[in-house]
Amino acid sequence: MTETSTAPETTAIRTDLLIGGEWQQPAAGERMDVTDPATGEVIGEVAGATVADVDAAVAAARKAFDDGGWSRISGRERSRVLLRVAALIRERSEELAQAESPDVGKPIMFTRMIDVPTAADQFEYFASLAQHLDGAVRETPLPAFAFTRREPRGVVAAISPFNFPLILSSSKLAPALAAGNTVVHKPAPQTPLSALLMADILREAGVPAGVYNLVIGPGPELGDALVRHPDVDMVAFTGSTAVGRIVARTAGEHLKPVAAELGGNAANIVFADADLDKAIGAVINAFVFNTGQFCMAGPRLLVDRSLYETVVGILGNAVGGVPLGRPSDPGTVIGPVASRAQLERIEQMVQDAVAAGGTVVTGGHRVELDGGFYYAPTVIAGLDNDAVAVKEEVFGPVLTVQPFDTEEEAIRLANSTPYGLAAGVQTGSISRAHRVANRLEAGIIWVNGWAMLDPAVPFGGVKASGWGRESGPEALESFTRSKSVIVTIDPEDAA
């Protein structure tokens, strides 16, 4: 059993694969480095799985599902276990926060205040729903009693991304397990540490052997093996739209359902009647939170032309004052991006934006700090709607600003990209808020704020941002299938 130390002050984390309830070395004996984005230095190593390990994990999940020790027990029994998971997350909250921060480059303030509590909330919420997987009685003219049942789908492949490893893993695991499924979880290979801790927590809470299995390794190879595997019944995926298309196409060949939360490029609309102080706060939060590595970020700002110069000026003065620094500093709001490759991509997109006629109002450069992958929060004005930085997801702390003249034009610009995950409306008019929200093509709309989320509220996309929903009762429905039962009523029995 291999262990390694990760961030300072954290407990040693098991770094092997969890298959069938046991920690195991990968079949090929491969190990992968874990890098701290704040320094660019290797802070540990973890198991590197191969397709053989995926096969073993799926076999363990299939056996656990078919044995019925989780899938066929009552929802109330599953609820008790999931509540223990939530309690252990809270009990080990500092350990999880200290692992998540150097793994992603996320400021410790946010891992403590947002990531870890959200994961616990998700397990508590779906623990409550596990007790209410009700069907319905249907009235028919048939000489029969007709009703429906909600049943687990079977073995779920949960594939989670690098930007919110703990939250976006828990948003799949909690509803999948609450519904009675078994899971093979593949986190992003760049950010596996919180998944390893969660595997330990799930075992300690009493999740039976084989119900949760963890494999860590290269995304394309292991992801493809999971999606294609004949014993995987459903895929829950969060990632880029490009990879999501591959996942959907492959899953479609095997006629298995996919819940896909994909890329976003949300517009945040500031109308002339908005409370400008509050609107500016929402605008800045929308593009710097998690260093812009947030599929529901708001990197496109649309401003009423009467406020355009004022807003650009305010942003130019204010954005540079948002604290950027080491994730371990409790006052840091903006940390590094997650990898050198992502840093280089952001830098290239900003350079292309300038070449396309954009003006950098503030930022637009790397920040040298400890050898880490830092990029200054950047505001770009003067771009046309066909500029790449406007049309495509930057996935970094970059904001483009465009003016509009009418409400109709604002809606048209907001809906003009292929994405449809989130959008924002900053206005003092309740009528306008409803009117515009009704016409925006997005899965979640925030009015006079940004990024307010709760496990009870579903989120997910339309258009190129995916389909299916995470959180809320809608998520639990995704991880179940409906069965109709029609029981013939014998007239003699009725008599």
Query: CA Rg, the chain, in Å?
Result: 24
Distances (CA, A) of 385 to 84, 178, 418, 423: 50, 44, 13, 17
Query: Rounded to whole angstroms, how far apart are CA atoms 490 and 129?
Result: 36
Strand partners, 131: none
Question: Residue 233 in 3-state DSSP?
Answer: coil
Distance of CA 302 to the CA centre of its chain: 25
Helices (H) and strands (E) in the chain, counts: 17, 24
Going through 153-297 in order, the beta strands assigned E by DSSP cover: 155-159, 182-186, 212-214, 234-238, 258-261, 267-270
Count Cβ neighbours within 10 Å for each residue of 300-315 and write b for 16 or more, e otherwise.
bbbbbeebbeebbebb
Residue with tokens 């609450």: 178
How many CA within 13 A on the CB side of residue 300?
Answer: 34
| Residue 348: partners with Cβ closer than 8 Å, 6 or more residues away | none
Residue with tokens 């223990």: 84
From 238, 297, 308, 256, select the one nearest 450 (Cα to Cα): 297
Pair 208, 226: CB distance under 8 Å: no
User: Which residues participate in catalysis according to the annotation?
Assistant: 261
Pair 390, 288: CB distance under 8 Å: no
From 12, 21, 457, select the one nearest 208 (Cα to Cα): 21
Pair 336, 373: CB distance under 8 Å: yes
Q: Is 61 exposed, middle or buried (0-12, 13-18, 19+ CB in 10 A)?
A: buried
135 backbone dihedrals φ, ψ, rounded to 5°? -95, -155
Please report which helix (H) or strand (E) contains residue 302, including its range: strand 300-304
Query: Rounded to whole angstroms, how far apart are CA atoms 294 and 61?
Result: 31
Please give the single-letter amino acid code of residue 345. R
Task: Give the pair of three-digit tokens for residue 240.
Answer: 């880029």
| DSSP category for residue 482 | E
From 218, 222, 201, select the one nearest 51 (Cα to Cα): 222
Task: Give the pair of three-digit tokens for residue 369.
Answer: 């700090």
Distances (CA, A) of 236 to 127, 186, 260: 19, 10, 6
